Amino acid sequence: MPRPHRIEFPGAFYHVFSRGNNKQKIFQDTQDYNVYLDRIKRYDNRYNFVLYAYVLMSNHIHFAIETKEVPLSKIMQGIQQSYVQYVHKKYDSVGHLYQGPYGAVLYEKEEFVLKLVQYIHRNPIEAHMVERPEHYPWSSHGAYLNIAACSFLNKKTVLEMFSSNETKAIQMFNEFVVLGPQSSEQLNFDEVKDRQIIGSKKFMEKVKIKIDDKPAVAETGIIMDFSKERRITLLEILKIVSKQTKVSSDSILSQSRLREISEARRIFVFVAAKEAGYRLVEISRHIKQGDSSITRMIHKIESELKYDLILSEKLGKISQVVKARPRS
């Protein structure tokens, strides 16, 4: 089953993130960082989006971005692909620079923009690279403090949430970021990257109305799968695969290379990724295998399905059970 279409409409607000392939570096030197920022500026001029925050780490990036008329997919395609072309030309390289497609979670802006900007600007602190956010040169925090220029950044919306007085607002904003999340209710943005949308029930209803006139999106059923709690869990998928293949869950999660165990493991990975839409990083954490191993398992199943009728029938039965499983 193909990955669900991204939820896109004018005025959508996203947390966008992307990692280097196999956790490799996206940026090797100062020029690389500057070129990527230039690409953001170029496509902002072309597509007129609203960027509230960014951070460029050596092997991953984060944006807080709001679209207007041009959808996020087109914006990110322009930024990401043009930077890849630059990298391949500069380093005479080939192959994938990024770890699959970029990730994007749709958020209720009014509720989460401030928390998301804080999270993005604190990335270098949490990575123990700097003690204060303004000491890291490749984030938008310096622009918020007026110690760096960034023509494509919209900081007014965030600063006005603190004070109508710019000087006071900047001071309060800086303290807010430095202090970090203080409430146990603070959303952990890392833990919800597998969702497509985060917000109140009222927000969910508004989004549904916005995309109801787009059958290609609505037919994916994403409205029914917004909540992680309503999604079949990896543990449930594992139990289903175990029962259908007659291979124990512990064996599937083991490092055994026995043929029947390896096949059951590949089936579990394939169903989790293709039927349930889990990201490779989630599956790799669950079975303690690297992302590259997960990818190979999926490709092997896809190849085997072309000629292995027994496997095809087995996988079909498992998929039916997974789809029919009541959501909690």
Q: Which domains are assigned to the chain? A: 13-225 (3.30.70.1290), 233-324 (1.10.1750.10)
pLDDT reported for residue 105: 94
Q: What would the mean pLDDT of 182-187 be, rounded to a whole number?
A: 62
For helices 234-245 and 259-270, the axis angle rounded to 10 degrees is 140
Most confident of 181-190, 248-257, 297-306: 248-257
Question: Is the pLDDT at 164 greater than 70, yes or no?
Answer: yes
Least confident of 41-55, 98-112, 124-138: 98-112
Q: What would the mean pLDDT of 196-210 be, rounded to a whole number?
A: 87
pTM (2 decimals)? Answer: 0.65
Q: Which residue in 36, 82, 29, 78 sits closest to 55, CA to CA?
A: 36
Q: How far apart are the C-alpha atoms of 8 and 218, rounded to whole Å?
A: 11
Q: What would the mean pLDDT of 237-248 be, rounded to a whole number?
A: 92
Q: How far apart are the C-alpha atoms of 51 and 66, rounded to whole Å?
A: 6
Dump pLDDT digits (tens) for 310-319.
Answer: 888 888 888 8
Confidence of residue 223 (pLDDT cuts 50, 70, 90): very low
pLDDT reported for residue 139: 98
